[in-house]
């Protein structure tokens, strides 16, 4: 285990060191201490390393992650794992706005609650939230899967495309073009896998969820739908 | 019949033929007009400015002997690897999706041959463009279509797009006709559906967040790349100041003549300001912050000639960007294709239905049969020629003003032909020392 004291060594040295691991495999386990809510911690990683942040992070922790596993032993600020490509990001606490925004791959697990716009414009990422999510989550979500063990706020999945949303609790309201859909066997199997990978299979069963997706009525502009926008 | 002369038919200025035609079109279709390009209305522009040239008080440089440099450094504020261009005329962001792959290749070929940069667009980075652009600026847009860290790292600069001149405050729409398999795959969306580009970034709001977003991009790219911030011409003083505050290396300012692939005509013609009115305010913001020439200013929107380049630089810009003019240089709206434009219900010079993907020039289309017509090698050569001519023209003017570098052009070299242009550009009305709005004048 390599230990990096962020408050003593600074952000630039941290990310530079982690970027330098590309192609290396002998220093695969890292611990970052004293994060003190700093922004842009462990961004742009591209190596199969395991990074644990001991404390809470500011904006964009693990942004554009590839391959790495990043664990935050605290809460995460806005835009955690934004545009993630692959790998895994696990937040023990809560996540602020835009968690997993535009993510294209990999798995984001939030063990607490996620604020508004969780999964906004997601493009292939899988997101598992053990708690609740805020309003406008999965806005314009293009693809990927979002699993919410708790409740969803207003306007879930507004203007979404092909992303699949699974919510166990209540949904305050659905956004434009988002509808409840039939839960078929393949969705239950997908959900079981997501719950397992999201460290939530001991907390919920696939049968307890409802599935939401796009009605696909706004896919092509139609003046008769103008009031939906 | 009376022998008295009749009052001749009189058309209304308010209800002109154009306006009435649009009313009829709206009534028939129930949808607003969508088109490509920038504002077509007559606006105060660089045509309303003149250079004074050298006389007794200043002496000129010899046209074919004395040097007038044209190079520009971009990104010198923070980037470890700032960009050095031979000429200050860059190619503005235009997406793959809006343009064909061969058209993007031609832009790269022409720009590289002329010693300047190209810019991606709202569809990600294509191999055609990266492969043929010596210097490539990668746009970071609200939609994040195709965004990935590998392309960020292989870009030469990053342009955070907040807005564009054709539609400040607006997003975009790539209509289904242009969503081929390849475009759909790059954007993670189904083929053939209308693709919306958001008007706001999904993970930041406001200048304080932007500062953190720029920090993240710098960290991901190890502080190597210059980071531009592009804004539409709406509140250029404040937008420029806030971009500087957020940490931009370069501010890109796009006036309302700047083109778009597809937007509502009502938006293009009624939102934003002409570039002439934008430049002095942006320069003032940079000067007030002590950052003029430290944070570079690239301006765009209606740049057509070397005279426009020289005028923009005299007003304080470090470089310009061209989009529509580059497409024309490639062959867009060429009268040689008049018969085909007629079949589409338009005429050469007026064709702006770029969103429909039927461009007979093969530039703004994803139809393989149409884009096969376009030769990217020839197109690149034409663009190079055009960029060279613009540069020569700007040098000609600069030498006449006694300048040994285009950056030495200054507002004192200019006068204005109209009160409006004088007020907007902050230069005297020709033949007077009057700058409306200055020194207590109204």
Count structural domains, chain B. 1
Task: Give A227's pLDDT tier (boundaries 50, 70, 90).
Answer: low
The span from the CA of B442 to the CA of B434, in Å, is 10
The span from the CA of B172 to the CA of B261, in Å, is 8
| Contact list, A58 vs chain B (CB under 8 Å) | 212
CB contact under 8 A, A44 and B175: no
pLDDT at B82 over 80: yes
Domain harbouring B177, CATH code: 3.20.20.70
Q: Where are the alpha helices (DSSP H) in A49-156?
A: none
pLDDT at A228: 63
Average pLDDT over every residue of A52-62 = 98
pLDDT at B367 over 70: yes
Of A78, A124, A223, the CB nearest to B188: A124
Residue B432 belongs to a domain: no
Instruction: Give the least confident one: A99-103, A128-132, B177-181, B327-331.
Output: B177-181
Triad A164, B194, B19: Cα angle to 5° = 145
pLDDT at B438: 86
B224-274 pLDDT, tens digit each: 999 999 999 999 999 999 999 999 999 999 999 999 988 999 999 999 999
| Contact list, B221 vs chain A (CB under 8 Å) | 44
Residue A225 belongs to a domain: no
Domain harbouring A6, CATH code: 2.160.20.60
Instruction: Give the least confident one: A86-90, B250-254, B415-419, B434-438.
Output: B434-438
| Residue A87 in contact with partner chain B when CB distance is under 8 A | no
**Domain range spanning residue B219?**
53-425
Residue B37 belongs to a domain: no
Residue B16 belongs to a domain: no
Minimal-distance CA residue of chain B relative to A16: B222
Residue B395 belongs to a domain: yes
Average pLDDT, chain B: 94
Name the minimum distance, in Å, from the CA of B367 to any CA of chain A: 19
The complex's ipTM works out to: 0.96
B99-139 pLDDT, tens digit each: 999 999 999 999 999 999 999 998 889 988 899 999 999 99
Among B202, B213, B263, B356, most A C-beta atoms within 10 A, so best to mutate, is B202
pLDDT at B34 over 80: yes
pLDDT at A226: 67
CB contact under 8 A, B30 and A223: yes
Strands B49-51 and B414-416: antiparallel
pLDDT at B258: 96
pLDDT at A34 over 90: yes
A118-154 pLDDT, tens digit each: 999 999 999 999 999 999 999 999 999 999 999 999 9
Count structural domains, chain A. 1
Residue B23 belongs to a domain: no
Q: Is the torsion defined by CA of B379, B253, B172, A44 positive or negative?
A: positive
Among B175, B219, B356, most A C-beta atoms within 10 A, so best to mutate, is B219
Percent of chain B with pLDDT over 90: 83
Residue A21 belongs to a domain: yes
pLDDT at B312 over 60: yes
Structure tokens given for B152: 């960020």
Residue whose C-alpha is closest to residue B195's, from B172, B164, B169: B172
Residue A226 belongs to a domain: no
pLDDT at B1: 58
Percent of chain A with pLDDT over 90: 91
Of A63, A97, A101, the CB nearest to B220: A63
Residue B308 belongs to a domain: yes
Minimal-distance CA residue of chain A relative to B208: A59
Task: Give B414's pLDDT tier (boundaries 50, 70, 90).
Answer: very high
CA torsion angle B174 B178 B179 B182 (round to 10):
-120
| Contact list, A16 vs chain B (CB under 8 Å) | 222
A88-122 pLDDT, tens digit each: 999 999 999 999 999 999 999 999 999 999 999 99
Average pLDDT, chain A: 95
CB A56 within 8 A of CB A38: no
Which residues of B lie closer than 8 Å to A, measured between beta carbons? 29-31, 143-144, 147-149, 152, 173, 175-176, 187-190, 193-194, 196, 198, 202-204, 209, 212-213, 215-216, 219-223
Residue A187 belongs to a domain: yes
**Domain range spanning residue A149?**
2-216
SS3 of chain B: CCCCCCCCCCCCCCCCHHHHHHHHHHHHHCCCCEECCCCCCCCCCHHHEEECCCCCCCCCCCCCCCCCECCEEECCCCCCCCEEECCCEEECECCECCECHHHHHHHHHHHHHHCCEEECCCCCCCHHHHHHCCEEEEEECCCCCCCCHHHHHHCCEEEEECCCCCCCCCCEEECHHHCCHHHHHHHCCCCCCCEEECCCCCCCCHHHHHHHHHHHHHHHCCCCCCEEEEEECCCHHHHHHHHHHHCCCEEEEECCCCCCCCEEHHHHHHCCCCHHHHHHHHHHHHHHCCCECCEEEEEECCCCCHHHHHHHHHCCCCEEEECHHHHHHHCCCCHHHHHHHHHCCCCCCCCCCHHHCCCCCCCCCCCHHHHCCCCHHHHHHHHHHHHHHHHHHHHHHHHHCCCCEHHHCCHHHEEECCHHHHHHHCCCECCCCCCCCCCCCC
Residue B435 belongs to a domain: no
Backbone angles phi, psi at A164, to 5 degrees: -105, 130
pTM tops 0.90 = yes
Backbone angles phi, psi at B154, to 5 degrees: -95, 5
Residue A117 belongs to a domain: yes
CB A163 within 8 A of CB A145: yes
Task: Give A75's pLDDT tier (boundaries 50, 70, 90).
Answer: very high
pLDDT at B442 over 60: no
Residue A54 belongs to a domain: yes
Of A19, A60, A101, the CB nearest to B222: A19
Residue A221 belongs to a domain: no
Residue B21 belongs to a domain: no
pLDDT at B123: 82
pLDDT at B81: 98
Residue A185 belongs to a domain: yes
């Amino acid at each position: 285990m390599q230990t990096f004291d962020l408050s003593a060594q600074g952000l630039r040295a941290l990310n530079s060191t982690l970027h330098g691991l590309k192609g290396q495999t002998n220093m695969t386990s890292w611990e970052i201490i004293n994060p003190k809510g700093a922004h842009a911690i462990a961004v742009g990683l591209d190596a199969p390393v395991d990074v644990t942040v001991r404390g809470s992070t500011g904006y964009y922790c693990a942004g554009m992650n590839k391959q790495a596993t990043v664990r935050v032993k605290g809460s995460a600020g806005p835009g955690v794992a934004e545009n993630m490509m692959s790998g895994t990001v696990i937040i023990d606490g809560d996540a602020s706005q835009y968690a997993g925004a535009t993510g294209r791959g990999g798995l984001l697990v939030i063990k607490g609650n996620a604020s508004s716009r969780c999964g906004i414009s997601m493009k292939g990422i899988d997101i598992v939230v053990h708690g609740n999510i805020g309003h406008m989550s999965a806005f314009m979500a293009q693809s990927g899967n979002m699993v919410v063990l708790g409740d969803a706020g207003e306007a879930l999945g507004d203007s979404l495309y092909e992303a699949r949303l699974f919510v166990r609790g209540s949904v305050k309201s659905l956004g434009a073009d988002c509808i409840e859909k039939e839960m078929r066997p393949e969705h239950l199997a997908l959900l079981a896998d997501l719950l397992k990978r999201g460290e939530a299979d001991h907390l919920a069963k696939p049968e307890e969820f409802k599935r939401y997706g796009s009605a696909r009525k706004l896919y092509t502009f139609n003046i008769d739908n103008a009031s939906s926008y | 019949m009376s022998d008295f002369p009749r009052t001749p038919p009189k058309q209304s200025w308010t209800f002109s033929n154009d306006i009435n035609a649009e009313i009829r079109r709206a009534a028939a279709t129930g949808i607003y007009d969508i088109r490509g390009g920038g504002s077509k209305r007559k606006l105060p522009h660089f045509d309303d400015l003149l250079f004074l040239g050298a006389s007794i008080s200043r002496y000129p440089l010899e046209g074919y002997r004395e040097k007038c440099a044209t190079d520009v450094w971009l990104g010198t504020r923070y980037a470890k690897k700032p960009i050095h261009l031979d000429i200050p005329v860059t190619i503005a962001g235009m997406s793959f999706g809006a343009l064909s792959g061969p058209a993007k290749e031609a832009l790269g070929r022409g720009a590289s041959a002329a010693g300047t940069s190209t810019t991606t667009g709202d569809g990600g980075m294509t191999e055609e463009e990266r492969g043929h652009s010596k210097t490539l600026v990668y746009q970071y847009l609200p939609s994040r279509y195709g965004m990935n860290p590998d392309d960020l790292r292989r870009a030469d600069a990053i342009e955070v797009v907040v807005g564009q001149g054709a539609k400040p405050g607006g997003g975009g729409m790539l209509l289904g006709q242009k969503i081929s398999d390849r475009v759909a795959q790059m954007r993670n969306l189904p083929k053939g559906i209308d693709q919306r580009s958001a008007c706001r970034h999904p993970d930041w709001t406001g200048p304080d967040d932007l500062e953190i977003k720029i920090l993240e991009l710098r960290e991901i790219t190890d502080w190597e790349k210059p980071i531009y911030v592009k804004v539409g011409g709406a509140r250029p003083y404040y937008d420029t100041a806030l971009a500087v505050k957020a940490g931009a290396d370069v501010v890109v300012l796009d006036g309302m003549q700047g083109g778009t692939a597809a937007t509502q005509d009502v938006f293009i013609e009624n939102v934003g300001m002409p570039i002439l009115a934008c430049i002095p305010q942006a320069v003032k913001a940079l000067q007030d912050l002590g950052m003029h020439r430290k944070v570079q200013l690239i301006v765009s929107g209606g740049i057509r000639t070397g005279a426009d380049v020289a005028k923009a630089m005299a007003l304080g810009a470090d470089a310009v960007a061209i989009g529509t003019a580059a497409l024309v240089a490639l062959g867009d709206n060429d009268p040689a294709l008049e018969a085909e434009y007629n079949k589409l219900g338009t005429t050469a010079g007026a064709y702006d239905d770029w969103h429909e993907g039927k461009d007979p020039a093969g530039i703004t289309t994803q139809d393989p049969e149409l884009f096969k017509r376009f030769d990217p090698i020839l197109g690149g050569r034409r663009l190079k020629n055009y960029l060279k001519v613009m540069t020569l023209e700007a040098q000609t003017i600069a030498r006449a003003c006694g300048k040994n570098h285009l950056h030495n052009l200054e507002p004192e070299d200019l006068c204005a032909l109209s009160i409006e242009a004088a007020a907007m550009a902050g230069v005297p009305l020709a033949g007077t020392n009057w700058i409306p709005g200055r020194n207590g004048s109204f």
